[in-house]
Chains A and B, each alone.
Chain A
Amino acid sequence: MLVKEFKVDNFEIKVSEQTDEVKIQWLGRSEARNPAEILNPYLDNIANQLRGKNILIDYTKLEFMNSSTVPPIIKFIKSCSVNGMITNVHYNKNLEWQSASFMPLKTVCIILKNVIVTGI
């Protein structure tokens, strides 16, 4: 697989191919002031390279993200949806900050095709 991993300071995105889907796992803390600057090109690349595959975006192990991280996530999920990729998004519903961030995302993702956001 051509997709490289992403690591900046204490923040990491690992990509691994499972039997029936590609898992994109977010780890650590996304605290950059303008994360879109570095995340958008990386995630655009993933969305292009994984076209046609099913993906699981796993936030359950993410320790923290600031609100500026949300727009790049939405941009990525929208691209996956437009590319016809079946996209599962998992978050940890027992973590208060994750529920606060992903519940609104879950609500609005009903307008996107093939995207399912689930609290695990």
Chain B
Amino acid sequence: METIEKKTTADWARWFKKGEISPHFQPIISVQNKSVYGYEVLGRIEMQDGEMHTLGDFFHAKVHLRNKQENPNFITYQQTVDNQILRKALQFFKNNSEPNSKLFINLSPIRLWNFHKFIESNDDLPPIFKEVHELSIDPERIIIEITEEYIQNNLELLKPLIAIYKGFGFMFAIDDLGSRASNLDRIAIFRPDIIKVDMDFLRKSLSDRSYKEILYSLSQLGENLGISLLFEGVETVEELNQAMSFGSRYIQGFLFDKALNHFPEREKYKENMNFYIKSFYIKKHSGIEQKLLQEEGIEKIIKNIASNIQFDGSDILSYIEIFSIDSNFFRLYVTDLHGNQLSPNYIRKKGEGIYIEKYLTNNNWSWRPYFTNYLYQSKKLNQSWVISNPYRDLKEDYIVKTISLTLNKDLILFIDVFFNAEY
């Protein structure tokens, strides 16, 4: 047998003749009710010797790109295999699944595009729609996972077709968001009910803060747009905790089960989930207690700053005293309530001492999120100080937080602090 890279359509066809393809189902667990929410269909082939193989290599093979003569043979062959799995999966789902459970079915945007392209001459139903209708399955039980394939065509043109699917009750998920092809515009085009995030993305977030920030934003985006997050590939309790920290409503992965040739009972994982959720709560709770302790520490520092501040309307006279309060302070400046900078920047660089940037006077900072956050919290909660979320400082390329402190009713002192400070 040729290596995967060199296989032709005929090689693949010979391979398929040596076994039998069948759908397998990987359970997807709802964190909310701790039971199985649905199952993702995954293709498998069982060889004559009983060995089971996934069909991932086959579906990701690009035979048609390597050899133009193979096109459209290979794509047609892929679709034939895909349809066989789909039909078997739907039939099995209809006969064996528990009511209200969902079935996640992968669909390439290319297939949707091909349907759209020939819609005027097409008298057939769109992909998946057709099979679901023929088997009289309620479309509300089907979640179409748009796979991550790159497609050159303007996906915006698929919006009316997507709206039709939705009108009949189908739901949509975007698979593997953040991979090369799944650009953010897919969220606007498909208006998915679910976004699937691969654990690789989360694993990268442990070593690279940019990934972490993207996940926070995604979590916020999901909240704002009414989209649920599903983390797939979850293998450990620690990964489950992280996924839940980012607001994952659904979980899929080996921590619960691999893809199975049957539908596990919906309550099968409940006991484990009860345990995981309890440990998640304990962890979160201790995090909150730690934060409260840190805030007590900040209170003391703030009192210290407030008793040391001397500002004459254009200069912070006591900047040396303020820097001496905490070695993590690296920049100070004062603005009015409209964000207009009144003082220079006082900057401390490690090993270089303090220097003053006078030219920044009259800059305006009201557009920065930490400024808006300060205005909101100081007004709503009547707080005299606010600390921002961590963010990357554009100039210094550090992860920082900003303490905003009301000096009097017209002035605000901003202190930029290195992120690793204990608050």
Interface residues of A (CB under 8 A from B): 67-68, 70-71, 73-75, 100-101, 103-105, 107-108, 110-111
Contacts and interface: CB of A to CB of B under 8 A. Distances in A.
Contacts of A75: 167
A74 B125 contact: no
A24 to B, nearest CB: 17
Contacts of A67: 159-160, 162-163
Contacts, number: 47
A75 B120 CA distance: 23
Interface of B: 116, 119-120, 122-126, 129, 133, 157, 159-164, 166-168
B167 A73 contact: yes
Contact of A71 (B133, B159, B161, B166): B166
A71 B172 CA distance: 14
A75 B166 CA distance: 10
By Cβ-Cβ distance, the 10 closest A-B pairs, closest first, are A74-B167, A70-B163, A71-B167, A67-B163, A101-B160, A104-B164, A104-B161, A67-B159, A103-B119, A100-B160
A103 B159 CA distance: 12
Among A67, A105, A110, A111: residue with most chain B CB under 10 A: A67
Given A67-B162, A70-B164, A108 B120 contact: no
Contacts of B162: 67
Contacts of B160: 67, 70, 100-101, 103-104
B125 A111 contact: yes
Given A70-B164, A71-B166, A108 B126 contact: yes
A68 B188 CA distance: 12
B119 A108 contact: no
A101 B158 CA distance: 10
A107 B123 contact: yes
Nearest to A76: B167
Nearest to A68: B163
Contacts of B123: 107, 110
A95 B34 CA distance: 49
7 contacts: A67-B162, A70-B167, A101-B163, A107-B124, A108-B125, A110-B123, A111-B125
B365 to A, nearest CB: 33
A104 B119 contact: yes
A110 B129 CA distance: 12
A67 B123 CA distance: 22
B239 to A, nearest CB: 36
A105 B125 CA distance: 10
A74 B133 contact: no
B119 A74 contact: no
A110 B166 contact: no
A74 B170 CA distance: 13
A74 B167 CA distance: 6
A67 B120 CA distance: 19
B122 A107 contact: yes
A71 B163 contact: yes
B245 to A, nearest CB: 31
Given A74-B168, A108-B125, A110-B125, A103 B163 contact: no
A73 B168 CA distance: 10
Contacts of B163: 67-68, 70-71, 101
B133 A70 contact: no
Given A75-B167, A101-B160, A105-B164, A111 B133 contact: yes
B133 to A, nearest CB: 5
B167 A107 contact: no
Contacts of A103: 119-120, 160
A108 B157 contact: no
Contacts of B125: 107-108, 110-111
A57 B166 CA distance: 21
A38 to B, nearest CB: 17
A70 B166 contact: yes
A73 B159 CA distance: 15
A102 to B, nearest CB: 8
A92 B168 CA distance: 23
Given A101-B163, A105-B164, A108-B129, 18 more contacts: A67-B159, A67-B162, A68-B163, A70-B166, A71-B166, A71-B167, A73-B167, A74-B164, A103-B160, A104-B116, A107-B122, A107-B124, A107-B126, A108-B164, A108-B168, A110-B123, A110-B125, A111-B133
A34 to B, nearest CB: 11
A95 to B, nearest CB: 13
A104 B126 CA distance: 8
A70 B123 CA distance: 20
